[in-house]
Homo-oligomer: A and B are copies of this chain.
Amino acid sequence: MNFMTENQPKKPSKSDRTRAQILEAARLLFAEHGYDGASIRDVAAHASIDPAMVIRYFRSKDELFARAAVVDLQLPALRVIDRNTIGETLIRRFLEIWEGPASGPGMAILLRSATSNEFAAEKLRDVFANQVRPVVAAVADPADAGRRAGLVSSQLLGLAMCRYLLRLPPVVALSHDEIIRTVGPTLQRYAAGEDAP
């Protein structure tokens, strides 16, 4: 009967609110301290609730993390992509995802834990294969779209690492314009450049 509430979004029945509070606290703490660094007790404290409730609503820490680590990059539809500006398009969307007004901690959650948590790593590879790769495949020979998307991801994940997780001072100091002007051309060449593999 709880299953119905998803199909009939009429009742935000009190439990849904605390459920959302837990998930929000979890996303925040997972993004900031990683899977191991954020304990269930920390999440519960941040949601002003008992640790047992976290397990009640989500069955385990793993499942809570799985629910928290949902990422939708909302990359442009394939038909709208211009082959000549794909680099700039990607880096602009990158900045929106990480710093835009509607930005969520989704990518930070994955990236923070991907180095020591196999589930997070697999989820990140999924994002690459199902969200980044198709976009690159729309502007390049699908035969080596994987390679090109891999190079694009290496630059974007590296930039995210340095700017948002590692917080390397000179990379933090970069303005949006600087980033677009320097990294954009790199992505353009990786995604749609004419050099042979």
Contacts and interface: CB of A to CB of B under 8 A. Distances in A.
Nearest to A196: B181
A189 B188 CA distance: 14
A80 to B, nearest CB: 24
A138 to B, nearest CB: 16
B150 A171 contact: yes
Interface in A135-159: 146-147, 149-151, 153-159
Interface residues of A, number: 48
Nearest to A120: B166
Nearest to A36: B36
A116 interface: yes
Interface stretch (A9-17, A44-52, A107-115): A107-115
* Copies of the polypeptide in the assembly: 2
Given A157-B162, A158-B161, A113 B116 contact: yes
27 contacts: A34-B115, A34-B116, A36-B36, A36-B116, A112-B115, A114-B115, A115-B115, A115-B166, A121-B167, A124-B166, A125-B166, A125-B168, A125-B169, A128-B168, A149-B170, A150-B162, A150-B174, A151-B171, A151-B182, A153-B162, A154-B155, A154-B161, A155-B186, A157-B162, A181-B195, A182-B190, A185-B189
A33 interface: yes
Tell me the interface secondary structure of chain A in the complex.
helix
